[in-house]
Amino acid sequence: MERYKITRKNALPLGAAIKEYLRSARLTTGLNTRLIFKAWDDVSGAGQFTLKRYFRSGKLYITLNSSVVLSQLSSRKEFLKEMLNDRLSRDELFEQDDQNATWVEEIILK
């Protein structure tokens, strides 16, 4: 990892410095995925019923252990997708330009 010497002319705000560090350390994809999973738990309210989470190519795969919760969430998929993306857009650490973990385009419930 590179060492940075910051002069007053090159000083960055702390938020920008953190984003730059995450990009240079190639941590944005993993962080974005974790933020998506956290947003799922908050938005859906089904965190305690979620067995597995997987995100790839804009698709969020969720495995639930309750058929009742599955049927309730299935009817609200589009609303949940909009709420997830809204939550992610307000998160300062979410990197919108990451090619591997971007916006949630589809939710697949199992």
Greater confidence, 86 or 4?
A: 86
Look at the block and give the residue holding tokens 């309210």.
45
CA 39 vs CA 12, 82, 98, 107: distances in Å: 28, 11, 17, 13
pLDDT digits (tens, 9 = 90+) for 98-109: 777 789 999 999
3 domain-assigned: no
pLDDT for res 20: 83
Which residue range(s) make up the domain with 54?
27-109
Q: Is 101:54 a contact under the CB 8 Å cutoff?
A: no
First to last CA, the chain: 41
pLDDT for res 98: 78
14 domain-assigned: no
CA–CA separation, 58 vs 95, rounded Å?
Answer: 14
Total domains, the chain: 1
80 domain-assigned: yes
10 domain-assigned: no
16 pLDDT above the threshold of 60: yes
Greater confidence, 5 or 24?
A: 24
By the 10 Å C-beta count (0-12 exposed, 13-18 middle, 19+ buried), 19 is classed as: middle
Q: What is the mean predicted confidence (pLDDT) over 4-24?
A: 77
pTM over 0.75: yes
36 pLDDT above the threshold of 80: yes
17 domain-assigned: no
CA–CA separation, 25 vs 45, rounded Å?
Answer: 32
Contacts of 44 (CB under 8 A, 6+ apart): 50, 73, 80
2 domain-assigned: no
25 pLDDT above the threshold of 60: yes
pLDDT digits (tens, 9 = 90+) for 37-86: 999 999 999 999 999 999 998 999 999 999 999 999 999 999 999 999 99
